Amino acid sequence: MISHMSQSIPVHSSGAKNSQSSQRLASQSAMHSASSTTGVKSILLKKQSSSSHAGAMKNDIPTTDIASLVYFRIAFGGIMLLEVIRYFQYDRIKRYYLEPKFLFTYYGFDWVHPWPGDGLYYHFLALGVLSFFIMLGLFYRVSAFLFFLGFTYIFLLDQTHYLNHFYFVSLVSFLMIFVPANRAFSIDAWRRADIRSETAPAWELWILRAQMGIVYFYGGLAKLNSDWLHGEPMRMWLAERVYYPYVGWLYFRWETAYFFSYGGLLFDLLVVPLLLWRKTRLFAFCWAVAFHITNAHLFRIGIFPWFSIAATTLFFSPDWPRLFVRWCWGLFSKEKHPKEIHEHLVSNVTAQLHPGHRVTIVLLGIYFAIQILVPLRHHLYPGNVSWTEEGHNFSWMMKLRSKKAKARFFATDPLTDMTWEINILDYLTYKQRNTMDTRPGMILNLSHNLAKGLRKQGYEQIEIRAEVWASLNGRKLQLLVDPTVNLAAQQRSLMPAKWIMPLLEPLPTREQRNDYIKKLTNRMNPLRRQNEETNDL
């Protein structure tokens, strides 16, 4: 029994060991399986996390300091408020839009008419209030939208007052609708904590930079024409200012005309690349300030120089207003500048790209495609654009031509074979006439209006012809439109006008221009600057 037990014990012990060993193996296998499962899950989770992070990165958009946008909002509102005040101060509302019996509407916008009664005065008052609201950042989005509509309406009322800088204001006010320049230093931000932010998406700054860059670039591209490279019409304009104290004697010299002509060309073409490069940015800005102040000195072009200087600051580092305030603080105080004012923003801050942003970016892409193509459309028309004026507007052709013209209009009744001259001043103001005489499109517009009025008087088959003698940049006078064509029968369209006469007269020789300049300066006197009208930009 004992021997049997002694023999059976080892056998039993060996079985137990095998059982424990198998249990350990099973446990290790289970642990390994669990470990493998956990590892797989971990890898999958990491992949999902990485995938979601990558997806989030795709939706992230870079941001920038909002300070420069805030400054531009204040400058824009202030400058436009000043312009509205000037319209009241110089009674331009009445002289430009109420006194004329006829307004030269743009093609496709014949439906735009002045408000009845005192409506235009209230309209300009509203523009002033909206400008003030934009400056303060009060109801900013609504104010920017309404200002864009209100200012563009005024712009479309009459081609007589077309100015490139008014077109520029209309475009910038449209872009301001999309720029959240009220997130800081505004009444809106004070009232609503949910919109406060020290940053803004970087693309919102770049759309304003791009618009300013388009103005500069196409302004330079337009100067690449034969007349400008020969110093005209700059030579003529400077000769009209020889009476200026201290510097007037310089304006008579050819070297000065070429300096301004080629200097303006180089400025427009180079200023944007120089502004974009940090090492040349300060030099480029100083050059821009000198350029615009010189223009303000030589030509009466209203708010354009100051508006352009304000827009050019957008090319500086976005936090430049903060740095400028901090620098000014250091001039007058030894204490450290308050932390909340000079706090540096983290460079890698991003914002989420929402579906609404995508739609906005697509629309802005279409907008800038139009802005790039429209200034080039004059190449689709035959002839010199400064002569025909076809494709001239909305193309940033600034201060490129000096045209003098005198138009006479004749009405013919084919039923009675009677022809008589029409007194244009019965329909137009002097400013309207001086502008219309040089613009074939406006001549056609007036011809249609004259025919419409005469048909109401019973001349159902009336014909309108115009005899227009014009001079471009000092050339000899020649016919601008075909005097044999019945303009009342010509349709307004965007197609080339066959009734515009081609420019045949060459630019005068240097000796001929010298003689012209001498005669011109002999007629000048110190009172001329006080009486000269605002030059079309």
pLDDT above 80 (res 327): yes
Residue 348 to residue 52: CA distance in whole angstroms? 19
Q: How far apart are CA 533 and CA 401, in angstroms?
A: 16
Length of the chain: 537
- Compute how many other C-beta atoms are within 10 angstroms of the C-beta atom of residue 522: 8
Q: What integer is the mean pLDDT of 396-414?
A: 95
| Range among 120-124, 333-337, 413-417 with highest mean pLDDT value | 120-124
Instruction: Check if the beta carbon of residue 269 is closer than 8 Å to that of residue 396.
Output: no
**Residue 502 CA from chain centroid, whole number:** 32
> What mean pLDDT is reported for the chain?
85
Tokens of residue 396, six digits = 């940033």
For Cα atoms 318, 324, 329, give the angle at the middle one, nearest 5 degrees.
145
Cα–Cα distance for residue pair 218/372, rounded to 1 Å: 9
Global pTM value: 0.83
DSSP state of 492: P
354 burial via Cβ count (<10 Å: 0-12, 13-18, 19+): exposed
DSSP category for residue 337? P
Report the distance separating Cα 404 and Cα 474, nearest Å: 9
Return the minimum-mean-pLDDT range out of 147-151, 166-170, 283-287, 360-364. Answer: 360-364
Cα–Cα distance, 446 to 452 (Å, whole number): 10
**pLDDT value of position 117:** 92
Q: What are phi and psi of 348, to 5 degrees?
A: -100, 20
Rounded Cα–Cα distance for residues 126 and 136 (Å): 15
pLDDT score at 250: 85
Host H or E run for residue 356: helix 355-373
CB 260 within 8 A of CB 237: no
Give the C-alpha separation, 535 to 335, whole Å.
50
Among candidate residues 414, 340, 421, 386, the one with its CA nearest the CA of residue 500 = 386
Q: Which string of DSSP letters, residue by residue, matches 499-521? A: TBPPP-PPPPPHHHHHHHHHHHH
Instruction: State how far the Cα of 82 lies from the Cα of 65, in Å rounded to an integer.
Output: 28
- pLDDT for position 39: 47
165 closest CA partner among 398, 486, 352 = 398
Q: pLDDT at position 362, please? A: 87
> Worst-scoring range by mean pLDDT, 59-68, 90-99, 230-239?
59-68
Quote the tokens at residue 479. Answer: 């016919």
Q: What is the pLDDT of residue 13?
A: 42
* CA–CA gap between residue 260 and residue 510 (Å, rounded): 17
Q: How confident is the model at residue 53 (pLDDT cuts 50, 70, 90)?
A: very low
- Given a cut of 60, whether residue 514 has pLDDT beyond it is yes
What pLDDT is recorded for position 404? Answer: 94
Structural tokens at position 429: 């103001």
Query: Is the CB of residue 95 less than 8 Å from the CB of residue 429?
Result: yes
Phi-psi region of 96 (alpha: psi -120 to 50; beta: other; left: phi over 0): alpha
Give the model's pLDDT for residue 248.
80
Q: Is the peptide bond before 233 cis (omega within 30 degrees of 0)?
A: yes
Give the burial class of 446: count Cβ atoms within 10 A of its Cβ; 0-12 exposed, 13-18 middle, 19 or more buried.
buried
What SS3 class is residue 162? coil
pLDDT for the residue numbered 361: 82
pLDDT > 90: percent of the chain: 70
pLDDT of residue 17: 43
Q: Which amino acid is at 330?
A: G
The CB density around residue 91, as the number of other CB atoms within 10 Å, is 11
Give yes or no for residue 525 having a pLDDT over 60.
no
Q: Which two tokens stand for residue 162?
A: 């077309």
How do residues 7-31 score in pLDDT, each as one tens digit? 333 434 444 444 444 455 445 544 4
Q: Point out the least confidently predicted range of 192-196, 198-202, 268-272, 297-301.
A: 297-301
* pLDDT score for 340: 43
Question: What is the radius of gyration, based on Cα positions, of the chain?
Answer: 36
47 vs 118, higher pLDDT: 118
Residue 431 burial (CB count, 10 A):
16
Indicate whether 318 pLDDT > 80: yes
Q: What is the pLDDT averaged over residues 353-359?
A: 70
- Condensed to tens digits (0 to 9), the pLDDT of residues 178-204 reads 999 999 999 999 999 999 999 999 999
Confidence of residue 145 (pLDDT cuts 50, 70, 90): very high
Question: For 98-115, how does the pLDDT look when each residue is reduced to its tens digit (9 = 90+)?
Answer: 999 999 999 999 999 999
Q: How confident is the model at residue 331 (pLDDT cuts 50, 70, 90)?
A: confident
Give the CA angle between residues 405, 114, 466 to the nearest 5°. Answer: 25
Residue 475 has pLDDT above 90, yes or no: yes
Which residue in 304, 309, 312 sits closest to 396, CA to CA?
304
Helix-, strand-, coil-residue percentages of the chain, each rounded to 5: 60, 10, 30
- Number of other residues whose CB lies within 10 A of the CB of residue 105: 18
